[in-house]
Amino acid sequence: MHDDLAPRAKKIIQVLRKTYPDNECALHHKNPFQLLVATILSAQCTDKRVNMVTPGLFKKYPNAKAFAQAPIKDIEQAIRSTGFYKNKAKSIQGCCQILDTRYHGKVPKTLEELVKLPGIGRKTANVVLGVAWDIPGVVVDTHVKRLTYRMGLTKQTDPEKIEFEMMKIIPKKDWIDFGLLLIAHGRAICDARKPKCEVCPISPLCPKKEVG
């Protein structure tokens, strides 16, 4: 099965690279720590909204120690507009407390260490590793989950299973780009409810499976 899918996946990546030549992580950040916090905030929230919140947030809390020592209510108020702010504040502070005490305020560079931090799943870990340090990983967010199924690249619906399947059919050098390109395509053309198939550059390569 993987032998059949690999050539099509390669063509999809080639077309999407031409379609989104300037594709990169949409979350504004100046270092791996800011990217980590921004990615936590991006859950169930638009990148545009996160980018509106983070400049003031990082000015008030410039590092892990600042977040770790801040009153949780203050963090909640600062990130309120991103939604689910109580859970996000708890995750950010818990994560920063460990970063401060165990990692001297630095973000660890392995997936195994990252996923042990509060609020950090494989998706967030792969975003940070790939974008901050160019360490290969397949990011599977809601767009990637939806598009890989719709394009017939997987029958899985569990993000972790999708991640491992994509790692088998996509060359390691393309893992980071693959996730970022699908996210860009999901936002621009392959909408969940009304995909613009008539203008989609990869329409000839896509079986257009129905998916919610």
Shortest CA distance to 34 belongs to which of 122, 107, 91, 115? Answer: 107
Q: Which of 141, 145, 174, 177 is catalytic?
A: 141
Q: How far apart are CA 25 and CA 28, in angstroms?
A: 8
Closest to 16 in 3D by CA, of 185, 204, 168: 185
Q: Is 177 designated active site?
A: no
CA distance 211 to 194: 11
Scan for tokens 């392959």, then name that residue. Answer: 190
Q: Which of 3, 48, 59, 123 is catalytic?
A: 123
Q: Is 123 a catalytic residue?
A: yes
Q: Name the strand (E) or helix (H) holding 50.
A: helix 47-60
Element (H, E) at 103: none
Residues annotated as catalytic (active site), given as ranges: 123, 141
